[in-house]
Amino acid sequence: MSGNEVRKRQARTVVPFRAVPDEVRLLRQAAKAQLRQWGVPHAAADTELVVTELATNVIKHVGEGTSATLVLEWGTERLRVEVHDKSHSMPSVSPAGCDDECGRGLHLLAVVTADRGTVLTAAGKSVWCEIALGPEQACQRMERAVAALEGYRPGGTTTRQGRLRDAVLKESAVELIADLLHWTASCGFDPDDILDQAQSHYEAEPGVAA
């Protein structure tokens, strides 16, 4: 069962589910279809990742087969993804590099979301994430890209400014993309397919010229 509510540029859909692996795939499909209906398909990749992580954590840390609920709320600038379960146990972020799968998943969510948190409820808890849409999303992508490029070649950009710094970042971007393509091929994926998907995500975002 699901319900929808739309008012003042906001929309909400509620999808109860059973915490089993097969349901996670169906939840991703439902979320993707809902975003298409709302007219924000460019947020599908990040939303599917968030849905997968939150639902999988219910299976691992609350219990397979337990009842849970996915809630999607769309506003003008952000998409909110919530998963409600019946456990009062609060998730925690483990130090980077540890073996805790839930901790790694939460670190991954921190990369793709604008904000996140956990709220205790009378029935259990709600774990939520917000995904930026439109200009805010583009700004976050720029900030993440610069941080990644500056860390990719330590010391190469921190003391440089203006066009020289931009040139160094451009060179780092080319090298990083090349390394990612090598990694893609070594894992058995098609580098051209990865590039096509990245280009499709880029062109689907608001404000990008076709």
pLDDT digits (tens, 9 = 90+) for 65-88: 999 999 999 987 899 999 999 999
Q: Which residues, in sequence order, are bridge partners of residue 118?
A: 127
pLDDT at 162: 63
Average per-residue pLDDT in the chain? 80
CA distance 174 to 138: 20
pLDDT at 39: 82
Domain ranges of the chain: 3-132, 135-204
Residues 6+ apart with CB under 8 A from 114: 78, 130, 131, 132, 136, 137, 140
pLDDT at 171: 86
pLDDT in tens, 150-194: 777 655 544 455 677 778 888 888 888 888 899 889 988 898 988
Architecture of domain 3-132: 2-Layer Sandwich (3.30)
pLDDT at 96: 40
Residue with structure tokens 């990749």?
45
pLDDT at 5: 43
Average pLDDT over residues 120-125: 94
pLDDT above 60 (res 43): yes
pLDDT at 7: 41
Average pLDDT over residues 23-40: 92
More confident residue, 93 or 193: 193
Question: What's the pTM value of the predicted model, to 2 decimals?
Answer: 0.60
Residues 53 and 109: beta-carbon distance below 8 Å: yes
CA distance 182 to 156: 23
pLDDT in tens, 50-63: 999 999 999 999 99
45 phi and psi, to 5 degrees?
-60, -50
CA distance 14 to 12: 7
3-state SS record for 119-181: EECCCCEEEEEEEECCHHHHHHHHHHHHHHHHHHCCCCCCCCCHHHHHHHHHHHHHHHHHHHH
pLDDT at 143: 67
Report which DSSP code applies to 91.
P
The pLDDT-based confidence of 136 (bands split at 50, 70, 90) is: low
pLDDT at 164: 75
